[in-house]
Amino acid sequence: MPHWSVYTGNSQPHDGIDRLPAPPPWRAFDGEPVLRPPRDGDDEAAVSPDRVHRARTYVATPESVQLVNAALVLRRPLLVTGPPGTGKSSLAYAVARELRLGPVLRWNITSRSTLADGLYHYDPLSRLYAARQAVWRTGDGDPWAGVPGEGVPGAGMPGAGMPGAGLPGAGAPGAGLSGAETPPGARTSAARASGAGAPGAGMPGAGALGAWTSGPGTPGARMRGTMTPGAGVPGAGAPGAGGVEEHLRLGPLGTALLPYERPRVLLVDEIDKSDLDLPNDLLNVLEEGQYEIPELMRAARHSADAGTAEVLADGTDTPVTVARGRVRCRAFPFVVLTSNGEREFPPAFLRRCVRLELRRPDREQLTEIVRAHLDTPPAEADHLIDRFLARAADGELATDQLLNALYLTGVAGLDAESRDALADELMPYLSATADGDGF
């Protein structure tokens, strides 16, 4: 193996990643604060029997070993193309296991996938619901405060109820006039929620997210600083309502770009099924190794200190620290993008990737694969391998079809003629648009 290689393909776990050469100057990253990589046990999906088996039994080719190492050293994504069943996705699990890089982050691509799906997900409706629930639990004010027409006597009827009912700050002396100040104790729950009595009450933007408060943040808010988390959201200032970060979770791509001290493994599966724009949308994020979360950035602008937030990452319930809404990697992740070759990618995307094309395994490779997966007597395996190769010469087959045939004919205890007939039934030809990725 060349001295710059850290991945060997022998499936024996080791800490060779610590010997990875320094990145090229144009691919060096310095994200902070530095995070320790998670262990496999931190993600239940990562220790599922199927993923563990695929990682342990993967049979790597010399070409795949060399190009995996090239992608690791150059800090570039690895674009893996090939027919279904050639082990494209399994390669990511094998690398993560051997180099002890923790659970694989998996992003399954569909025609509706967008860049935002991979980076993070923010749920404003759950935040609104939590705020209302917090107000109901504490009894501190009207849960519908700040909603036009709610909680105000005669709301919506001109002149009904309180003078100026339905207007911001209704009921306060001088309500509706810019700069009107409410005397201490004169505010109603509706006035408090809508910003009445505050400087500029009734002006556009008053009470919106990012509005200043006169004191420290709401008790229980996890966003540090002097801004009320959820300003502009009815009841969001109540204890227990939580801030923006309570309703935000990083996606697999967003998690992979956190400043871990070791690279994470990100599997972007079947990118050729994506919308035409997704490969181009990925260019800047993968080139810069960073991204921004606007919801946290808006809150951080009005924070008195660093504006840090604790958010949940993909595959774990342990929060990570995000400073001022910006995420930048430290160790660039090992990104595996798989494609069945159903479409072409733009040149700007291709030139930023290390490209690996997996071909159908030959007889020697198939024998190794069968030996790794099954304890099948050589005589039976050889016969079905030959039959598989003969059929594959006339149409497209996947390696896992051979494994299924070997396993089922073995446990069924059939004679040779019946075994061959059953094997043929289990190895039908695949269509050009067959889904899935075998071993």
Q: What is the dihedral of CA 181, 183, 188, 192, to 10 degrees?
A: 50
pLDDT at 2: 63
Coil, strand, or helix at residue 292? strand
228 CB contacts (<8 Å, ≥6 apart)?
Answer: 211, 213, 217, 218, 221, 236, 237
Give residues with Cβ within 8 angstroms of 159, minimum separation 6.
Answer: none
pLDDT of residue 220: 37
d(CA 33, CA 15): 23
Other C-beta atoms lying within 10 Å of the C-beta of residue 255: 28
In this prediction, residue 184 carries a pLDDT of 39
Of 83, 84, 69, 103, give the one whose Cα is nearest residue 266: 103
pLDDT value of position 377: 65
CA dihedral 106, 107, 110, 114 (to 10 degrees): 180
- Successive 10-residue mean pLDDT values, the chain, 439 residues: 83 93 96 89 75 91 96 98 92 96 95 96 81 70 46 42 42 40 38 38 38 36 38 44 79 97 97 93 95 90 77 91 94 97 92 95 92 77 89 88 87 76 87 49
Separation CA 87–CA 89 (nearest Å): 6
Q: What is the pLDDT of residue 424?
A: 85
pLDDT for the residue 376: 66
pTM to 2 decimal places: 0.74
Q: Which has the closest alpha carbon to 352: 291, 269, 284? A: 284
